Amino acid sequence: MENGNYWRGNFCLEVSPTPDILVIFGASGDLARRKLLPAIYNLFRRELLHGDSHIVGCARHDYDTASFRELLRGVLPPAEPEQLEAFLQRIHYLRGDYGDPESYRQLGAKLEELGKLDAAMPLNYTFYLATPSSLYLTIVPQLSAAGLLKEDFEGTPWRHVVMEKPFGRDTASAQELDLELHRYLKERQIYRIDHYLGKETVQNILMLRFANIIFEPIWNQHYIAKVEITAAEEIGIGRRAGYFESAGLLRDMFQNHMLEMLSMVAMEMPGEFSADAIRDEKLKLIRAIRPFPQKNLETVLVRGQYAAAGDLAGYRQEEGVAAGSTTETFVAAKLLIDNWRWRGVPFFLRSGKRLKRRLSEIAITFKAVPHSIFQPIRAQDMTPDTLVLSVQPEEGMSLTIQAKQPGPKLCMGGLMMHFNYAELAGGESFEAYERLLLDAMLGDQTLFIRSDIIAASWRLFTPVLEAWRNPECCPLELYPAGSSGPSGADRLTEWREL
């Protein structure tokens, strides 16, 4: 089918970018160079960056505007040279020390100067903290002291701060961080990123569930047998030992990405498509997850760590990892949700590093038909109807249903209907950060995590972290690097093939 012929009717919510100065702290770092700046450039190319906008990179690295632009010439995706030059004219760089008030005075002067250049109206400021989270409580108070977080009226022009995880490391530290941040910022000014929410498939869950009539009636314990959510990575921890040793996989993937995917699949329908209506439902859902049991935790939650296999090093051999480290690089869990919709439906979640391949997906397995008229084929012999929402590497969706195989004999089996986003977009793929940056610059918090959701998710996982500290509890199961994870995970369910 020709690209474009898939769609019947196509409506867009109107997006009108506002003039904005995006200030990136940590501008010379990996995240800014690999993800943020290419994403902003793509927004510019798609005319989703207001013409009066500017980007100011701040970091300790010794660049100036000219050398920073030069650096970007090497990393931005090739496109029309004129377009690239026009974009680079909007880029500026300020070298500074995050703890030094003088740096913020200079930043303030720069923002004022840019605001006077060509903007017809006052510019909004969006501060993106692409720095280690340990610097949040250095940068935010300094911004505040320099008067850069002050809004004239509520939100006009706005001052937003975007932050990357981690937001604390347990209930108490998250609460403390939250209290501190709220001394300087209102909740509507804080944009906590979970980049999984910017992925096409994850965003599409809302349309799938709430813009179609056919799924919602069967989206419950009467028709669904189980839900499996997987985020498997082929890579190990690379050069992130310093961070990962003190985080571990539960904090790195479960408390945020996995729980966000779960809440998108399982939440009730919000009353409207608005940031707070959606986040209210997510919060209700996370609060309805049954707490993990204090006893026999290992029967519902398995932790593992990759061990050397073939050419692949084990976690303990990675640079910067302690020889006897017990940090988990794999977690599998069975969760239950105590509400009418999900009573008794198990949600199986697994995520790990150095697994067989990179695969993230949400698989919903439906119950068998109550009775088969196609005897001797019994209902339980049929491949269950399964809806798979593929998050990556391919983004798309497939539905497997029972169907007759062509031919004179009566044969039936599972038939897969399938689409993928790259095909729909003519091979182009969209980075999660494009959507998230656009939303941050539009002032739309729908895809950002609210403080009470962070608190609820830590309430769920902090008891697990505490239990793991007890040497009597829960063995750390080693699994060969490049495998499907520890065999202990199979105690929870028969997982889909990786």
Binding residues for ligand BG6 (CB under 6 A): 233, 252, 360, 392
Upstream peptide bond of 471 is cis (omega within 30 degrees of 0) = no
Nearest-angstrom CA–CA distance, 399 and 386 = 6
Please say whether the beta carbons of 103 and 97 come within 8 A. yes
- Return the number of the residue (182 or 358) whose C-beta is nearest ligand BG6: 358
For 145, the token pair is 């002291």
- Return the number of the residue (359 or 441) whose C-beta is nearest ligand BG6: 359
Please say whether the beta carbons of 445 and 188 come within 8 A. yes
Please say whether the beta carbons of 186 and 149 come within 8 A. no
Amino acid (1-letter code) at residue 387: L
Nearest-angstrom CA–CA distance, 22 and 127 = 6
Nearest-angstrom CA–CA distance, 112 and 123 = 9
122 — phi, psi (to 5°)? -60, 140
CB of residue 305 to ligand BG6, shortest distance in Å: 15
195 is catalytic: no
Which listed residue (92, 160, 195, 257) is catalytic?
257
Give the active site residues. Answer: 257
